[in-house]
């Protein structure tokens, strides 16, 4: 029987919206970048809506104090706040005469304005070690270290196109990565460790464990007191399905590290939506703050792209044009046989249209 909870309320966007946006619904006709991080939308009514975008901390976390500070600034300078789909924050309906003042106050509170156009957009990260039991790597720490390193590019408009970096702490990819221009994915190298006693004790769903394993690596085995499982090391891909079904009985083991993927993009202009592709399958990560090798690789990918891409080309467009072998060569990244997808034969070419030793690849 339904009680008072849950109340069954679908949040209504119209309740949050100011008159400016309600009366101009469907009437916006163009927009432009007033300066990095600041957009102006113009309505056919002649009215304008200025939006200031700020970067939020990794993992999307805010203290109540900062959340209130943002609310106060929305109240004082704008008409409504908005969380963007990359977990940045926008102050919408800003009074353009007081723009400088607002930007300065935001910066003072630690909210840099930027992440629009040809810049580094908000680095998206999951909660990592901060809020999650599954994380292989601490994505917020990596996002912070990377953000500090690339900080100038949040404002600068120096890239060929926009750059979106996402960091997912484990193969479940809540933080994304596989959709981004550059994705950093937390991965486990070791075989999951099975604790027979814990599986029996927690009355774990063994059939579900076997069914959900994508490669059939798990089979049941009888143990004292009940049923446990056995994991075939030749088949296990460390996808974490099993440890998700039975967290107390199966623990992801061994070394943790980062897989680097590049060239993902959503949207249908140019290539259409595509998942990013593997560039380096495993960079060991001894500590989330000691990630120089990872940082250097990310910076190198950005520089090679910034140097070689045509204006408007995102990383994926650029790699498509020059080809993967040429891209790897320019990066100085050795070809790793693990770049061949053992589960999808289509990652190997079925034509002979090969650019031998061609580096610029323009055709």
Partner 1 sequence: MSLEMDQHPESTLCDRLSQGPYPSHVRELRKSSYPLRMLEEGLRANRTQWGAGGYVSVPPLLSGVSIIGSSRPEIASELVCLRLLSVPGGFLSAKTMRGIAEVAQRCGHGFVRWTTAGSLELGIRREDMLDAVAAANELGLDVGSTGDDVRSISACPGSFRCDLAVVNAPDIAYSIGCATIDDQQFPGMPNKVKTAVAGCPNDCVRAQMQKDHAFVGVFRGAPEVDREMMDWWFREGVHSASSAGSWAVKGLDDLVRACPGAAMERRGDSVEIDAASCLHCMLCINSCPAIRPGSERGVAWVVGGKYGHRGANGPMVGFVLAPFIPAVPPDYEEVVEIHKRFLDLYADYGRRKERVGDMLVRLGLRTVLELMDLDPDPAILQEPAHRMFVVWPEAGGGSEP
Site for partner 1 in 104-163 (CB under 8 A): 110-112, 117-118, 123-135, 138, 140-141, 143-145, 147-148, 151, 154, 157, 161
Stretch that binds partner 1, among 48-56, 297-305, 324-332, 346-354 (CB under 8 A): 48-56
| Site for partner 1 contains 299 (CB under 8 A) | no
Minimal distance, residue 337 CB to partner 1, in Å: 19
| Site for partner 1 contains 92 (CB under 8 A) | yes
| Tokens of residue 258, six digits | 């980062």
Q: Looking at beta carbons only, is 257 or 319 nearer to partner 1?
A: 257
| Site for partner 1 contains 84 (CB under 8 A) | yes
Q: Which of 347, 333, 272, 257 is nearest to 301 (CA)?
A: 333
Q: Which of 186, 163, 283 is nearest to 239 (CA)?
A: 186
Q: Which of 281, 280, 256 is nearest to 189 (CA)?
A: 256
Q: Maximum CA pair distance of the chain? A: 77
Q: At residue 7, what are phi and psi to the nearest 5 degrees?
A: -80, -15
> How many other β-carbons are positioned within 10 Å of the β-carbon of residue 198?
16
Dist. CA 306–CA 325, nearest whole Å: 18
User: What three-state secondary structure class fits 163?
Assistant: strand
Scanning residues 329 to 358, which ones bind partner 1 (CB under 8 A)? 343
Does residue 265 contact residue 177 with C-beta atoms inside 8 Å?
Answer: no
Scanning residues 9 to 28, which ones bind partner 1 (CB under 8 A)? 9-18, 21-22, 25-26, 28
List 61, 191, 200, 223, residue binding partner 1 (CB under 8 A)? 61
Cis preceding-peptide flag for 6 (omega within 30 of 0): yes
| Tokens of residue 44, six digits | 């056919």
Q: Looking at beta carbons only, is 220 or 312 nearer to partner 1?
A: 312
| Site for partner 1 contains 312 (CB under 8 A) | yes
CA 55 to chain centre: 14
Scanning residues 25 to 44, which ones bind partner 1 (CB under 8 A)? 25-26, 28-35, 39, 41-42
Size of the site for partner 1 (CB under 8 A): 131
Angle at 263 between CA 260 and CA 267, to 5 degrees: 135
List 52, 70, 231, 297, residue binding partner 1 (CB under 8 A)? 70
| Site for partner 1 contains 316 (CB under 8 A) | no
Scanning residues 161 to 190, which ones bind partner 1 (CB under 8 A)? 161, 168, 171-179
Helix (H) or strand (E) holding 94: none
Dist. CA 258–CA 239, nearest whole Å: 14
Minimal distance, residue 134 CB to partner 1, in Å: 8
| Site for partner 1 contains 96 (CB under 8 A) | no
List 47, 48, 62, 306, residue binding partner 1 (CB under 8 A)? 62
Q: Kindly write down the DSSP assignment for every residue of 310-333, as one continuous string.
A: PTT--HHHHHHHH-HHHHHHHHTP
> How many other β-carbons are positioned within 10 Å of the β-carbon of residue 164?
23
Minimal distance, residue 357 CB to partner 1, in Å: 29
Q: Kindly write down the DSSP assignment for every residue of 88-120, as one continuous string.
A: -EEEES--GGGHHHHHHHHHHTT--B---SSSB
| Site for partner 1 contains 308 (CB under 8 A) | no
Minimal distance, residue 156 CB to partner 1, in Å: 13
Stretch that binds partner 1, among 284-292, 294-302, 325-333, 351-359 (CB under 8 A): 284-292
- The pattern of x and - marking residues 237 through 266 that bind partner 1 according to CB under 8 A reads x-xxx--xx-xx-------x-------x-x
């Amino acid at each position: 029987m339904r009680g008072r909870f849950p109340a069954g309320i679908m949040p209504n966007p119209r309740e949050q919206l100011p008159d400016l946006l309600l009366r101009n619904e469907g009437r916006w006709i163009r927009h432009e970048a007033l300066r990095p991080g600041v957009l102006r939308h113009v309505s056919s009514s002649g009215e304008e809506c200025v939006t200031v975008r700020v970067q939020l901390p990794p993992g999307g976390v805010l203290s109540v104090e900062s959340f209130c500070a943002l609310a106060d600034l929305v109240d004082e300078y704008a008409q409504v706040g908005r969380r963007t789909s990359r977990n940045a924050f926008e102050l919408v309906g800003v009074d353009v005469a007081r723009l400088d003042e607002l930007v300065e106050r935001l910066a003072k509170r630690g909210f840099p304005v930027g992440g629009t156009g040809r810049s580094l957009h908000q680095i998206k990260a999951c909660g990592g070690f901060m809020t999650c039991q599954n994380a292989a790597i601490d994505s917020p720490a990596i996002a912070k270290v990377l953000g500090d390193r690339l900080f100038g590019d949040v404002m600068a408009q120096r890239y060929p196109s926009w750059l979106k970096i996402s960091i997912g702490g484990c193969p479940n990819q809540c933080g994304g990565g596989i959709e981004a221009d550059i994705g950093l994915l937390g991965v486990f190298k070791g075989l999951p460790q099975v604790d027979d006693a814990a599986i029996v004790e927690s009355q774990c769903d063994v059939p579900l464990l076997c069914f959900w394993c994508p490669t059939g690596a798990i089979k049941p085995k009888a143990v004292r007191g009940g049923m446990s499982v056995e994991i075939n090391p030749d088949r296990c891909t460390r996808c974490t399905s099993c440890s998700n079904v039975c967290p107390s009985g199966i623990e992801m083991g061994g070394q943790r590290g980062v897989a680097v993927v590049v060239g993902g993009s959503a949207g249908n202009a140019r290539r259409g939506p595509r998942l990013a592709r593997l560039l380096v399958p495993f960079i060991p990560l001894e500590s989330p703050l000691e990630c120089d090798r990872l940082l250097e690789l990310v910076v190198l990918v950005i520089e090679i792209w910034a140097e070689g891409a045509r204006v408007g080309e995102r990383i994926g467009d650029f790699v498509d044009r020059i080809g993967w072998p040429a891209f790897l060569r320019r990066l100085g990244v050795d070809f790793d046989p693990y770049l061949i997808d053992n589960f999808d034969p289509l990652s190997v070419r079925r034509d002979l249209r090969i650019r031998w030793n061609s580096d610029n690849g323009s055709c």
